[in-house]
Amino acid sequence: MVSILTTPLVENPLRFGLRMRRTPNPCILVLFGVTGDLAHRKLLPAIYNLYVERRLPANFSIVGFARRALSDDDMRNDLKASVEKYARNKPSHRPGVWDSFAEGLFYVQSNFDDPEGYKKLAARLSEIDQQRATLGNRLFYLSTPPEFYSMIVQQMGAAGLANTRPISSTDVPISTNGTGPLNGAFVPLPETDMSWRRIVVEKPFGHDLASAQQLNRQISEVFTEEQIYRIDHYLGKETVQNILVFRFANGIWEPIWSRRYVDSVQIIVAESLGVEDRASYYDTSGALRDMLQNHMMQLLALVAMEPPSSFDAQSVRDEKAKVLRSIKPFTPVEVAQNVIRGQYGPGAILGQPVPGYRHEQNVPPDSDTETYVAARFFIDNWRWSGVPFYLRHGKRLPKRVTEIAIQFRPAPLALFQHTAADELQPNVLVLHIQPDEGISIKFESKLPGQDIRLRSVDMNFNYGSSFGIETSDAYERLLWDAMVGDSTLFTRRDEVELMWMITTSILEGWQRVPPPTFPNYRAGSWGPSVADEFIARDGRQWRRV
Ligand code: BG6
């Protein structure tokens, strides 16, 4: 094994360094669905880490908004327990820090469809502005079940919460479909220098193309596109951001990053976990919607995009959208040729028996929801024409691993064909996203000795050992970016719709044929055998990870 010595960590003054030094303006985070799992496991721990590490203003405040009857103190106590459990920085380590953080936590109880609740919220926010000088800045976060998204946004619009100035009688109402005014008189206003309002929307963003388009329309009646932050937590992962740095801060990759040198690309997101306690959501979603439509399509776009003209939100997202636009939706026949689905049956993970999907809690015993998907995409542009991108994801696979492997074409001449070396292994560049974060390159090397005998070796860069710092959680980066108004790592409207256009064509193809006989892979195996046969037909095989 060859390892790479890294130069000492120097802050990149161009982008990342400058971003690190900024502190967001004072603001209130309004968390719809504060009692839910995401808020407890991810959002509050991330916020608290930012707070402890002094990346938030001292008067930063949170208003939780949910249906349960709680007092401010009840919410503080509940959140404290979760932060203690899930955050890097524990309240018990520095109780004084938690206490000052908790002074900025408030709760508003309301049903999501109750206009009075939003008035109460507006009044509470103004009070907090007065008490804590939060300057009218608001970051709204939709972390409720998705069926409430449009209702909440509409209610916010009607209560004037999205605007940085009150609605005036001269504002012109806008319409849902361009044919007439809406009931509520609200107008999306651009952010002003004085104060800002932004909204973060959690996934799933729609259920298919039509519902995603509808949600986009509904949100855009209340917020401008600049105010909308569609979150994809994969984009907040350190190693995912490094894809861009790796590709565009180094000159050596660009010339070989194309169909001339690349044979194929494999993106795998394997999980050893099953559906846990999320079956009621997962069974209506499935692997395609849950992972491929969003996280994996984003990984593909980052790997395949052209260099942007600069690292601002518009340029980066323009290039990602261009890649997604170059993937043609499948016809039903193409779905059968290019996409495989699977569902796990009983098996074992790390020697422990685990039930099949249909026996998980809250899963119907005849469910045809897929827990595995493998697909082959082609990007119809000059750089990638003819290069297959294989995407593979499944639950209850043998281990948790996410990586992107770029396999290069073989050397043009097999010079060593009369030696033991005539079975040359291809060069593979692997971007290891998680859990062993790093980058490796596989190449052939001569074994020491008289004969020409070859062996594949790996050149490795490893985040942990090179930088010696723990990478922060994706939600920390993304929440902070939303507070400073940087939407580069959030998904734009056209991207979301393009990703759904591709995935909806798969869903439609599946609807036309009876589902495969499920279960078709054993928990703890690498997926259904049809997936192996599928890639073998191309003369390739799945990478061993
Ligand atoms: C979520 C999916 O978006 O991502 C989950 O809904 C999945 O099903 C999770 O387990 C994986 O995220 P990570 O960061 O653990 O790879």
Question: Residue for token digits 């939709």?
Answer: 142
**Beta strands of 328-422 (E only): which ranges?**
339-342, 344-345, 347-349, 352-354, 372-378, 388-394, 401-408
Q: Tell me which of 40, 207, 233, 295 is the catalytic residue.
A: 295
Helices (H), ranges, 305-429: 313-325, 332-338
Determine whether 295 is an active site residue. Answer: yes
| Same-domain check for residues 287 and 429 | yes
Q: What is the pLDDT of residues 270-307, one digit of tens each?
A: 999 999 889 999 999 999 999 999 999 999 999 999 99
Among the three residues 231, 264, 282, which one is the final residue of a domain in this structure? 231
Q: Is 471 in the pocket of ligand 1 (CB under 6 A)?
A: no
Q: Which of 18-27, 239-248, 416-425, 461-470 is predicted least confidently? A: 416-425
Residue 403 in contact with ligand 1 by CB distance below 6 A: no
242 in any annotated domain: yes
pLDDT at 8 over 70: no
Structural domain includes residue 161: yes
Helix, strand, coil percentages, rounded to 5, for the chain: 35, 20, 45
How many other C-beta atoms are found inside a 10 Å radius of the C-beta of residue 351? 6
311 and 191 assigned to the same domain: no
Residue 135 makes CB contacts below 8 A (sequence gap 6+) with 25, 26, 27, 129, 195
226 lies in the same domain as 240 = no
User: Nearest CA to 500 among 202, 283, 213?
Assistant: 213
CA distance linking residue 301 with residue 325, whole number of Å: 10
- 203 shares a domain with 320: no
Whole-angstrom Cα distance, residue 235 to residue 489?
6
Q: What is the rounded CA–CA span in Å between residue 389 and residue 402? A: 15
Q: Are residues 265 and 331 in the same domain?
A: yes
Res 11 pLDDT > 60 = no
Residue 174 has pLDDT above 50, yes or no: no
216 and 242 in a single domain? The answer is no
Q: How many domains does the chain fold into?
A: 2
pLDDT (0 to 100) of residue 414 = 75
CB-count exposure of residue 140 (10 Å: 0-12, 13-18, 19+):
buried
Considering only residues 10 and 172, tell me which one the structure prediction assigns the higher pLDDT: 172
Q: Where is the domain boundary, 182, 204, 231?
A: 231
Ligand 1 near 290 CB (within 6 A): yes
Ligand 1 contact, 226 CB (< 6 A): no
For ligand 1, the distance from its centroid to the CA atom of residue 236, given in whole angstroms, is 13
Domain termination residue (choose one: 186, 205, 231) = 231
If you measure from the C-alpha of residue 97 to the centroid of ligand 1, how many angstroms do you get, rounded to a whole number? 31
**34, β-bridge pairs:** none
232 Cβ closer than 6 Å to some ligand 1 atom: no
Residue 9 in tokens: 């960590």
Is 4 a domain residue? Answer: no
Would you say the CB of residue 473 lies under 6 angstroms from ligand 1?
Answer: no
Backbone angles phi, psi at 247, to 5 degrees: -75, -40
pLDDT at residue 330, rounded to an integer: 98
Instruction: Classify strands 352-354 and 372-378 as parallel, antiparallel or unpaired.
Output: unpaired
Looking at per-residue pLDDT, the higher value among 107 and 189 belongs to 107
The confidence score (pLDDT) of residue 455 equals 86
Residue 183's pLDDT band (boundaries 50, 70, 90)? very low
CATH for 226: 3.40.50.720
189 in any annotated domain: yes
Minimum-distance ligand 1 atom for the alpha carbon of 278:
8
* Bridge partners of residue 403, in order along the sequence: 268, 432
Locate the ligand 1 atom nearest the alpha carbon of residue 271 and give its number: 10
Same domain, 279 and 153: no
| Residue-number span of the structural domain to which 151 is assigned | 10-231
- Domain co-membership, 205 together with 354: no
How confident is the model over 59-98, as pLDDT tens digits? 999 999 999 999 999 999 999 999 999 999 999 999 999 9
pLDDT band per the 50, 70, 90 thresholds, residue 384: very high
pLDDT in tens, 30-67: 999 999 999 999 999 999 999 999 999 989 999 999 99
Confirm whether 1 is domain-assigned.
no
Residues 216, 244, single domain; the answer is no
Q: What is the pLDDT of residue 165?
A: 57
- Is residue 132 situated within a structural domain? yes
Q: What is the pLDDT of residue 175?
A: 41
Position 417 scores a pLDDT of: 65
Specify whether 345 is located in the same domain as 200: no
How many angstroms separate the alpha carbon of residue 250 from the centre of ligand 1?
Answer: 30
Span 107-155, pLDDT tens digits: 999 999 999 999 999 999 999 999 999 999 999 999 999 999 999 999 9
Establish if 512 belongs to a structural domain.
yes
CA of 520 to the centre of ligand 1 (A): 22
Query: Ligand 1 pocket test: which of 235, 280, 290 has the largest number of ligand atoms within 8 Å of its C-beta?
Result: 290
The domain that contains 293 carries what CATH number?
A: 3.30.360.10
Our answer on whether the CB atom of 271 is closer than 6 Å to any ligand 1 atom is yes
- Span from the CA of 269 to the centroid of ligand 1 (angstroms): 9
To the question of pTM greater than 0.75 for the whole model, the response is yes
Residue 241 and residue 219 share a domain: no
CA of 57 to the centre of ligand 1 (A): 30
Residue 419, pLDDT score:
60
Residues 391 and 474 reside in one and the same domain = yes
> Residue by residue, what is the 3-state secondary structure of 22-61?
CCCCCCEEEEECCCCHHHHHHHHHHHHHHHHCCCCCCCCE
Q: What's the chain's average pLDDT?
A: 90
Asked whether residue 218 is domain-assigned, the answer is: yes
